[in-house]
């Protein structure tokens, strides 16, 4: 039985665990930004310019498809072994990336990193949901979200420094001490009370899910890039992926302990929060992918300044996320998320409607507003989903939520990329023929920002469809009795 603990912070009893979770999250957060700035140096050293996009696609693919599997295993075996295994895989992948001598080897080792990240990120959030009460979780999620804000500045800076010194391998080797420290702190400070029972691992479901999602995400990432959308390769990839996914649904209905139970998307609250997470993934990656390109192409600003403008997005997020608990405990999860998504719509609208008159300050301000809104959307909806289930279902629910965000990111990149390429090609042809002399990047980016606005509007529908609730104060005040407890601080 857990005891009442109202202290949250680094110096509290659970402080060492919180620091370890932030370090673990930092591994994934920094990695998402540090590699991009070093790509020219990597290509110069190991070659493979035509293949370098797979440094990102392979990582994202491995991370996305492994999340549901890890989530289910954590409900069966506990969070600690899964997150430690994830940190170990991330460490192994980082070491191998740091010594890679060819682009194919580097891509393969990035996949190993992605498999590690697929365990680290959802387990960090799930553990926080286990050891902190409902009233505490928003503040804790603010701590974790702040890691992304810091990483959005530190990542590109470190990557640029290593690249300028000709030491691109350092962007991977720097993970070694971070992995060891995070793993050691979790091993020492985090303990679980797990009821050991016999489990039947759903190998068939896991294999079908991994295969189907690999093909579907691969088709979304590479469509319009490696092959045309209407090519036989595209139809084959999506077709086989769809067949495997259908087989997965059939297998899950018959499995004793399905890897992704269908109830995780059949309950109204879980379905709507999953759809919200899908939209969040599309919006965030859409802005992350195109805001820097827009500013550098339209206003010729430096990459550092463009990155700082984008950083406003991840600065606004933890500010509102950390305060969202005060709102949802008073007015409920749905009302809080509604306020947040309307703020995000306002920021996305400002960005979309002013894109034809580029201004770096206005772009940064718009990103900041979107971030503020998303902090009031992503955190309350995730906590609402976590709070609706018991400990032995929380891993699956958290994993499903983050899995949806990954799928939203992958599909968002594909759709936004197709829109941008179509507009960019048309604008470039017009400029070449003496017609419209507007920079092609401006209308292309404006179209993407309009698509982002549409995504936020669709998210409004999902938020409004959430079940009514009267606030969280009367629903859950302490973590589940089966939740993890910390030992004495390290």
Q: pLDDT tens digits, residue range 276-316?
A: 999 998 898 888 878 877 887 777 777 667 777 877 888 88
pLDDT of residue 111: 93
pLDDT of residue 213: 85
426 — pLDDT class (breaks 50, 70, 90): low
481 — pLDDT class (breaks 50, 70, 90): very low
Does the structure show a pLDDT above 90 at 30?
no
User: Cα 313–316–317 angle (5° rounding)?
Assistant: 85
Average pLDDT on 235-251 reads 94
pLDDT of residue 459: 95
483 — pLDDT class (breaks 50, 70, 90): very low
Four-point Cα dihedral 218, 222, 223, 224, nearest 10: 170
In the block, residue with structure tokens 């400990």: 391
Between CA 290 and CA 294 the distance in angstroms is 6
Phi, psi of 191 (to 5 degrees): -130, 150
pLDDT digits (tens, 9 = 90+) for 75-107: 888 899 999 999 999 999 999 999 999 999 999
Does the structure show a pLDDT above 50 at 240?
yes
Q: Chain centroid to CA 337: how far?
A: 18
Four-point Cα dihedral 108, 113, 118, 119, nearest 10: 130
Among 49-53, 211-215, 257-261, 288-292, name the one with the lowest average pLDDT. Answer: 49-53
Between CA 141 and CA 377 the distance in angstroms is 12
pLDDT digits (tens, 9 = 90+) for 305-314: 777 787 788 8
Q: Which two tokens stand for residue 366?
A: 């718009």
DSSP 462: H
Between CA 24 and CA 234 the distance in angstroms is 36
Four-point Cα dihedral 184, 186, 191, 196, nearest 10: -90
Between CA 165 and CA 457 the distance in angstroms is 45
Is residue 485 within a helix (H) or strand (E), and if so which, with residue range?
strand 485-486
């Amino acid at each position: 039985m857990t005891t009442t603990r109202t202290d949250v912070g680094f110096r509290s009893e659970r402080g060492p665990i919180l620091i370890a979770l932030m370090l673990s999250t930092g591994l994934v957060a920094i990695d998402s930004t540090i590699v991009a700035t070093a790509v020219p140096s990597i290509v110069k050293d190991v070659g493979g310019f035509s293949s370098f996009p797979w440094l990102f696609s392979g990582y994202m693919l491995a991370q996305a498809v492994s999340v549901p599997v890890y989530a289910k295993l954590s409900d069966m075996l506990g969070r600690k072994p899964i997150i430690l295994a994830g940190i170990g895989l991330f460490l192994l992948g980082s070491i191998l990336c740091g010594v890679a001598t060819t682009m194919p080897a580097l891509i393969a080792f990035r996949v190993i990193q992605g498999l590690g990240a697929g365990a680290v990120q959802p387990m960090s959030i799930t553990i926080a949901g286990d050891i902190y009460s409902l009233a505490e979780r928003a503040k804790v999620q603010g701590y974790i979200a702040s890691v992304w804000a810091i990483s959005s500045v530190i990542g590109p800076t470190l990557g640029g420094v290593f690249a300028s010194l000709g030491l691109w391998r350092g962007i991977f080797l720097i993970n070694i001490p971070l992995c060891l420290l995070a793993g050691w702190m979790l091993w020492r400070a985090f303990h679980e009370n797990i009821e050991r029972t016999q489990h039947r691992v759903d190998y068939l479901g896991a294999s079908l899910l991994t295969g189907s999602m690999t093909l579907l995400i691969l088709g979304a990432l590479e469509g319009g890039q490696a092959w045309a959308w209407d090519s036989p390769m595209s139809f084959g990839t999506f077709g086989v992926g769809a067949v495997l996914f259908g087989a997965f649904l059939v297998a899950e209905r018959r499995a004793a302990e399905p890897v992704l139970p269908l109830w995780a998307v059949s309950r109204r609250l879980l379905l709507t929060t999953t759809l919200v997470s899908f939209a969040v993934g599309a919006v965030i990656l859409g802005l992350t992918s195109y805001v820097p390109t827009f500013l550098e192409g339209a206003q010729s600003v430096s990459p550092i300044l463009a990155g700082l403008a984008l950083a406003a997005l991840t600065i606004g997020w933890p500010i509102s996320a950390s305060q969202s608990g005060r709102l949802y405990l008073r007015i409920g999860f749905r009302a809080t998320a509604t306020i947040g998504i309307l703020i995000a719509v306002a920021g996305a609208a400002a960005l979309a409607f002013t894109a034809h008159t580029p201004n770096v300050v206005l772009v940064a301000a718009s990103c900041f507003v979107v971030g503020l809104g998303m902090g009031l959307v992503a955190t309350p909806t995730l906590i609402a989903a976590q709070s609706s289930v018991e400990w032995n279902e929380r891993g699956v629910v958290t994993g499903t939520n983050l899995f949806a965000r990954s799928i939203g990111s992958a599909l968002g990149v594909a759709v936004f990329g197709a829109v941008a390429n179509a507009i960019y090609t048309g604008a470039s042809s017009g400029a070449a023929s003496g017609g419209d002399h507007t920079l092609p990047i401006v209308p292309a980016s404006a179209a993407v920002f309009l698509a982002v606005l549409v995504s936020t509007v669709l998210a409004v529908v999902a938020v409004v469809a959430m079940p009514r609730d009267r606030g969280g104060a009367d629903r859950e005040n302490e973590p589940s009795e089966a939740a993890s407890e910390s030992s004495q601080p390290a």
